[in-house]
Amino acid sequence: MHKLEKQIRYTGLVYFVIFIVTAVVFLFFSNSLLGIFNQIAIEFNMAVTDSQGGKFWLVLATSMMTNISFLSWGLYRNPVKNSNYLLPLIISKLTSSILGLIIFVIGIAAPSLFSFDGVGSLAILIIFITDFPLGVWVIILHLKVKSEDKK
């Protein structure tokens, strides 16, 4: 197995574990997780997020996490055949991280632009902090695959 295949395979396995655990946490412990973020945010004098967030969004977030978990599993199972799974992972992670950063920054500058609480909160910032590096790493792998395809 080539070095790139191994990198994609192990990235797929690590991402699968991360995202499936996150999906379970979202589904069963979302209020506790937001409570932890809010306690930390209070210590830093930041906005807090409503820990009773809507279940509608919880279902969508859990669905997304499950989807990207199984894209990651596909990368682990067969990195060559499923290398096209990298693109949806890039789109997912960059969309969530960029939106998280925008909502955080605008939420601090002009919170009235949003119709929900906690827009400048630590929980929103954590979306950027966690998803941006994951997205960047998948971009690097995707570029390596494209480079290999040209050889």
> pLDDT-derived band of residue 118, with 50, 70 and 90 as boundaries?
low
In the chain, % of residues over pLDDT 70? 92
* CA distances (Å), origin 44, targets 41, 65, 109, 124, 130: 5, 29, 17, 14, 19
pLDDT at 116: 63
Q: Which residue has the higher pLDDT, 114 or 25?
A: 25
Across the chain, what does the average pLDDT equal?
Answer: 88
> pLDDT-derived band of residue 117, with 50, 70 and 90 as boundaries?
low
Residue 8 confidence (pLDDT) above 70: yes
* Biggest distance spanned by C-alpha atoms of the chain: 53
Q: How far is residue 7's CA from residue 52's CA, in Å, rounded to a whole number?
A: 39
Q: Which residue has the higher pLDDT, 118 or 140?
A: 140
Query: Could you tell me if 119 and 103 are in contact, meaning their C-beta atoms sit under 8 angstroms apart?
Result: yes
Section 13-39 average pLDDT? 89
What pLDDT, in 10s, does the model give residues 36-49?
A: 988 999 999 888 87
What pLDDT, in 10s, does the model give residues 76-90?
A: 999 989 999 999 999
DSSP string, the chain: --HHHHHHHHHHHHHHHHHHHHHHHHHHHHHHHHHHHHHHHHHTT-B---TT--HHHHHHHHHHHHHHHHHHHHHHH-TTTTGGGHHHHHHHHHHHHHHHHHHHHHHHH-GGGSSSS-TTBHHHHHHHHHHHHHHHHHHHHHHHHHHHHH-
Phi, psi of 113 (to 5 degrees): -75, -15
> pLDDT-derived band of residue 52, with 50, 70 and 90 as boundaries?
low
